[in-house]
Amino acid sequence: MLFRVAEKNEIKTLYNMLAEKNAVVGPVRTGKDRNGAPLYAFEQIADFPKLDLSYTTTRLPAKRYFLPFREDLATFTMSGREWTKQIDYNIDRPYVLFGLHSCDINALNKLDKVLMGPVYPMPYYAAKRKNMFIIGIDCRPQPFCFCRSMGADTVLHGFDLFLTDIGDKYFIEILSAEAYEIAKDLKTEAPKESDHLQYMRTVAEKNKQFTAHVDTTDLTKILDMEFQSPVWKQWGDKCLGCGTCANVCPTCYCYGVEETVDVDLQHAKKTKSLYSCNIVDFAEVAGGHNFRPERSTRLKYRYYHKHRGFVEAYEESLCVGCGRCGEACLAGITVPEVIASVRGEEH
């Protein structure tokens, strides 16, 4: 990893260089919520002034650019007496994700373990993922952020450039060879001792701002011991089973596949749609039997997948602590509260 510092106006130069040949996606301000707080979203950007790198968080992650809610896996056309199959990975040109926070980059790294792993790789995801240039940026913790508890407040890989605001400059981490070549055309310099000190002060100040926490000590063991705990019924009674949590989650990847054939039998397609384990028919099989008919069971298995099953498979939680699920939940269910109740604690 190479470290450089640059004046803040150089970021516009960086944007212009990348936007010349790539589609740039970044945080933009979209309005205000009912309390007057600004709302942000990841959108494709045509002009640099629309890029808001001081954003707090987005309601939705950037997931739709590499794991869209719905996409056609294949289309089929009848040629004579046989079907001809066409596959389109839906890539028009390279994407630049400009301004991802550490938690969202870590979410991508976790998805990579599953969707680009050796067992069941997903070529549609892999094609988009390999065609991306990622620029990360530091953030200020919000009251609902518990990414530090999940070890996702910092990131070591999965990006090309990472920017940290140290006042009148950006402290730049250069990770990839492609980023190194791009940085050659920017006005940067090696960081001085004062830059190092300011960087460490910035990190220390950020760490003081975390207010939400999750105790992950021996969490997998505790989840095993509390599998039959009555708290799951209590939270299940509160859950609406709407699937909003999975919709805003940057690491949820469960999906269903639907095959449709035109009535003239000349065309057909296979479509993948993201789904949620909290929705009533998620575990329904042919014949109509539902393995998880109760909301409490579905909610419980969501938590066990995130904090137990994924840990067993990859030695880390699938949750990055972004807090989006709790903020979006119509019933007000949050991860810190659920985990605390399972541990027998009040939050």
Give 286-298 pLDDT, tens digit per residue. 899 999 999 999 9
pLDDT-based confidence at residue 144 (cuts at 50, 70, 90): very high
Residue 89: the pLDDT is: 77
Residue 93: the pLDDT is: 66
Token code pair at residue 300: 């419980």
44 Cα distance to chain centroid? 17
**Overall average pLDDT of the 145-168 stretch:** 95
pLDDT-based confidence at residue 92 (cuts at 50, 70, 90): low
pLDDT-based confidence at residue 347 (cuts at 50, 70, 90): low
Residue 307: the pLDDT is: 96
pLDDT tens digits for range 37-88? 899 999 999 999 999 999 999 999 999 999 999 999 999 999 888 889 998 8
Residue 79: the pLDDT is: 86
**What distance in Å separates the CA atoms of residue 90 and residue 73, rounded to the nearest whole number?**
9
Given a cut of 80, whether residue 320 has pLDDT beyond it is yes
Token code pair at residue 21: 């040949």
Q: Cβ(158)–Cβ(133) under 8 Å?
A: no
Q: What are phi and psi of 115, to 5 degrees?
A: -85, -10
More confident call, 90 vs 142: 142
The residues with which 136 forms a beta bridge, in sequence order, are 100, 162
pLDDT tens digits for range 236-291? 999 999 999 999 999 999 999 999 999 988 999 999 999 999 999 999 998 999 99
Q: What angle do CA 262, 267, 271 make, to 5 degrees?
A: 85
**What distance in Å separates the CA atoms of residue 96 and residue 133, rounded to the nearest whole number?**
5
Residue 195: the pLDDT is: 95
pLDDT tens digits for range 199-244? 999 999 999 999 999 999 999 999 999 999 999 999 999 999 999 9
